[in-house]
């Protein structure tokens, strides 16, 4: 199994007696995020967080900064830095709400729209690399289990 090294990095070569399912899911998420970061940075010059934000904006035109923060499950301050970077790079435009000036709306620019179309293929490559050791039936079963978890968690949210 995996453990954290002294500097906080995940050390796959260190075995520990027990890792619960939640910890294992976190490890998988971090490993995928690292791989996706590497692929996105080398091909598009953006991070996994940038790519995720752009994809979310493509699926929800005119989403607000607050809505994007809720999607990521973090505060608006953290997301505002990410949005500021995307805006400075010409991928996103922002404007204040008419009825509530505190609301900052976000939209992809034509450059951002062109870029976002390339993100899914790169994420699929990272996914394929990560799952390449699984046999076909194991991979299908994993997808069934994960999809079931998503459905149940969405129901729990209400």
Segment 116-151, tens digit of pLDDT: 999 999 999 998 888 888 888 998 898 899 899 889
Q: Cα–chain-centroid distance for residue 88?
A: 21
In this structure, the number of other CB atoms found within 10 A of the CB of residue 79 comes to: 22
pLDDT value for 1: 44
CB 44 within 8 A of CB 122: yes
Which domains are present in the chain?
1-43 (no CATH), 47-122 (1.10.10.10)
Interatomic CA distance for residues 69 and 53, integer angstroms: 9
Instruction: Report the chain's mean pLDDT, rounded to a whole number.
Output: 86
79-98 pLDDT, tens digit per residue, is 999 999 999 999 999 998 78
Cα angle 82-86-90, degrees, rounded to a multiple of 5: 165
Q: At what angle do helices 76-88 and 65-72 cross, to 10 degrees?
A: 120
Share above pLDDT 90 across residues of the chain, in percent, rounded to a whole number: 49
Cα–Cα dist 143/106, whole Å: 32
Is the model's pLDDT at 5 over the cut of 70?
no
């Amino acid at each position: 199994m995996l453990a954290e090294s002294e500097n906080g990095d995940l050390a796959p070569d260190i075995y520990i007696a027990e890792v619960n399912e939640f910890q294992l899911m976190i490890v998988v998420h971090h490993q995928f995020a690292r791989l996706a970061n590497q692929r996105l940075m080398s091909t598009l010059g953006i991070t996994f967080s940038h790519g995720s934000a752009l994809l979310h904006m493509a699926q929800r035109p005119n989403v607000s900064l607050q809505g994007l923060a809720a999607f990521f499950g973090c505060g608006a301050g953290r997301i505002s830095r990410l949005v500021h970077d995307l805006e400075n790079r010409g991928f996103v435009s922002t404007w204040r709400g008419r009825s509530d000036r505190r609301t900052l709306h976000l939209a992809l620019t034509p450059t951002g729209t062109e870029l976002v179309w390339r993100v899914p293929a790169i994420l699929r490559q990272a996914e394929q690399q990560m799952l390449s050791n699984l046999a076909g039936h194991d991979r299908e079963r994993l997808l069934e289990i994960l999809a079931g978890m998503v459905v149940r968690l969405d129901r729990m949210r209400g």
